[in-house]
Amino acid sequence: MNRRMVFYTIGQILLAEAAMLIIPALSALYFGESGWREFFITAAVAAGIGFVLTFTKPENRVIYAREGFAIVALAWVVLSVIGCLPFYISGEIPRFENALFETVSGFTTTGASILENIEGLSRCMLLWRSFTHWIGGIGVLFFVMAVIPLAGNRSIYLMRAELTGPVVDKIVPKMRDAAKIIYAIYIALTVIEIVLLLIGGMPLFDSVTHAFSTAGTGGFSVKNASIAAYGNPYFETVITVFMILFGINLNLFYFLLIGNVRSVFKNEELRAYVGIIIAAIAVVAINLMSVYESAGEALRYASFQVAAILTTTGFATADYTTWPEFSKVILLILMFCGACAGSTTCSFKIARVILLFRILKREIRRLVHPRAVSTVKLGGKVIEDNVIIGTCAFLAVYIVIALASLLLLSVESFDFETRMTAVVACLNNIGPGFGKVGPSGNYALLSGFSKAVLMIDMLFGRLEIFPVLLTLAPATWRKRA
């Protein structure tokens, strides 16, 4: 384990975070709020630690897979701890565990909140809250990679650990160029959404924060009632469309830009994604006809909520806890599904779901024809056995972690639905669950212990479990491997 290099890279990340903290600080000065002091203090702390860690360049700058995993997992923890300081120091979120929960939920793009009165926060704090979603969406290290050359040749290990999906590939030969292209697409889409919301008449501040939350598929709103507060079908349509867009593999936008339209339309995962969205919206809308007055209303709420849950965003325009059981179960299933690999969404990912079904099919065939030779394909390419085993292992670990979290949360006195969906919503980085943690409730009621469990679940979910697990294993930190 090259510890020097791990800490050096984390130092670089902290310097980047210090720079990011300047943005809410400047907004506070603009709004005439007193929050700028807290942001500058936090930025100074981050920069101070960053400078100490990056003071000497390590001689051995080589990193391998485990350093990559450790760097990413530690970086996300450190980022969250530093990032929660403004909330805590300013006293706007008085308890440290709550401030940390809110920040972890922000960076991991979960959107689970402990705030009972969101509108009571000052605007600079709300901006930072949504901004954490935007940063966490694609990944912090990936962002830093675009700006400074990180770790050189083997930086692919960092990318693998931070980006999501069963197989992570570069789109261009140089890691830095790839990072720049992806971030350029990300920024462009965010700006387009801001503009569209502005055209519809949403105030600038609300447009920016909501666009940040949509881009990261996070779900923090600046309103207590989330998007329902506006009751505006235009806003809902724009946000629905962009939630779905951010659920698409960002690489596909690049292929579209370079004119490779065929590979976009032939993308198997994208087709499945679109199919699932259409089917789910149709089924839920039909089921909701009895609840809402017109078919149009039912379609409006169904489409928004399906998109919000499937892309793990977690905005709300309706309190779906009051919907019929059938629709609730559909939403619950969607929670486990997630959107495309390589997007800003979390959860299981459609690519993995497709893979799992094909593996299942192959195993059944093998039972019938023990000598049959068959390969599992995705997107016309044969998937190697190690990816298949990795996908199955992911499913297994995922179930174990979900059950363990559920067990740990059983100390709470809430009903089963609340406890279970709290775990599901955090592990899949969705945000609101059902019951008391539904869209109209929040996570403030939980004990500090449960919050700690859920925070770890959120990190597990965003980093797809293995980086965090590896960092917790003592063998990773042994000097001699």
Nearest residue (CB) to other proteins, 155 versus 405: 155
Report the nearest approach of other proteins to the CB of residue 65 (Å). Answer: 8
| Shortest spacing between CB 175 and other proteins, in angstroms | 5
Please report how close the Cβ of residue 174 comes to other proteins at its closest, in angstroms: 5
CA distance 468 to 456: 9
How far is residue 33's CA from residue 350's CA, in Å, rounded to a whole number? 43
Q: Which is nearer to other proteins, 151 or 430 (CB)?
A: 151
To other proteins, the closest distance from the beta carbon of 140 in angstroms equals 20
**Minimum distance of other proteins from residue 172's CB (angstroms):** 7
Nearer to other proteins, 384 or 415 (CB): 384
Q: What is the largest CA-CA distance in the chain?
A: 74
| Range list of H helices, 139-294 | 140-147, 156-162, 175-199, 204-215, 233-246, 250-257, 261-265, 268-288
CB of 153 to other proteins, least distance (A): 5
With respect to other proteins, which residue has the nearer C-beta, 9 or 155?
155
Tokens representing 441?
Answer: 């409730």
To other proteins, the closest distance from the beta carbon of 168 in angstroms equals 11
**Residue 398 contacts by C-beta under 8 Å, 6 or more apart in sequence?**
348, 427, 465
**Shortest CB 151 distance to other proteins, Å:** 10
> What gap in Å lies between CA 225 and CA 319, rounded to an integer?
10
Of 167 and 444, which has the nearer Cβ to other proteins? 167
Of the pair 170, 362, the CB lying nearest other proteins is at: 170
Q: Return residues touching other proteins (CB under 8 A).
A: 152-157, 170, 172-175, 177, 384
Contact 189, 245 (CB under 8 A): yes
Distance CA 309, CA 29 (A): 36
Residue 173 CB, nearest approach to other proteins (Å): 4
Nearer to other proteins, 52 or 62 (CB): 62
Question: 177 or 415, CB closer to other proteins?
Answer: 177
253 phi, psi to nearest 5 deg: -65, -35
H runs (alpha helix) in 65-163: 65-83, 85-90, 96-107, 123-138, 140-147, 156-162
- Burial per residue of 231-259, b for 16 or more beta-carbon CB atoms within 10 angstroms, e otherwise: ebeebbebbbebbbbbbbbbbbbbbeeee
CB-CB contact of 235 with 300 (8 Å): no
* Residue 354: strand, helix, or coil: helix
Q: Is the Cβ of residue 268 or residue 412 nearer to other proteins in the bound state?
A: 268
For residue 405, give the amino acid letter.
S
